[in-house]
Chain A
Amino acid sequence: MVTSVTSFGKNGVSDWLIQRVTAVIIGVYFVGLMGWLMANSGFDYATWKGFMGSLPMQIANTLMMFSVAAHTWIGLWGVTTDYLTSLQLGGSATGIRLLVQAVIILLTLVYLLWGLVMIWGGA
Chain B
Amino acid sequence: MKVSIYRYNPELDNEPYMKEYDIDTQGKDLMVLDVLALVKEQDPSMGYRRSCREGVCGSDGMNINGKNGLACITPLSEVAPGVLEGRKPLILRPLPGLPVIRDLVVDMTMFYNQYEKVQPFLQNNTPAPAIERLQSPEDRAKLDGLYECILCACCSTSCPSFWWNPEKFLGPAALLQSYRFLADSRDQATEDRLGNLDDPFSLFRCHGIMNCVSVCPKGLNPTRAIGHIRSMLLERAV
Q: Within the complex, what minimum Cβ distance (angstroms) separates B58 from chain A?
A: 25
Q: Produce 1/0 per residue, A1-35, CB < 8 A to B.
A: 11101110001111111000000000000000000
**B199 and A1: CB pair below 8 A?**
yes
Q: Within the complex, what minimum Cβ distance (angstroms) separates A110 from chain B?
A: 25
Q: Within the complex, what minimum Cβ distance (angstroms) separates A24 from chain B?
A: 15
Q: B135 in the interface, Cβ–Cβ < 8 Å?
A: no
> In whole angstroms, what is the CA distance A82 to B209 when docked?
14
Q: A83 in the interface, Cβ–Cβ < 8 Å?
A: yes
Contact of A11 among B163, B198, B205 (CB under 8 A): B198
Contacts of A14 in B (CB 8 A): 237
> In whole angstroms, what is the CA distance A16 to B204 when docked?
7
Q: A85 in the interface, Cβ–Cβ < 8 Å?
A: yes
**B200 and A6: CB pair below 8 A?**
yes
Given the interface pairs A12-B201, A85-B164, A85-B165, the reply to whether A1 lies near B195 with Cβ below 8 Å is yes
Given the interface pairs A82-B164, A83-B164, the reply to whether A13 lies near B202 with Cβ below 8 Å is no
**A16 and B164: CB pair below 8 A?**
no
Given the interface pairs A1-B196, A1-B197, the reply to whether A12 lies near B161 with Cβ below 8 Å is no
Q: Which 7 A-B pairs have the closest CB atoms?
A: A12-B204, A2-B201, A12-B200, A82-B164, A1-B196, A2-B199, A13-B237
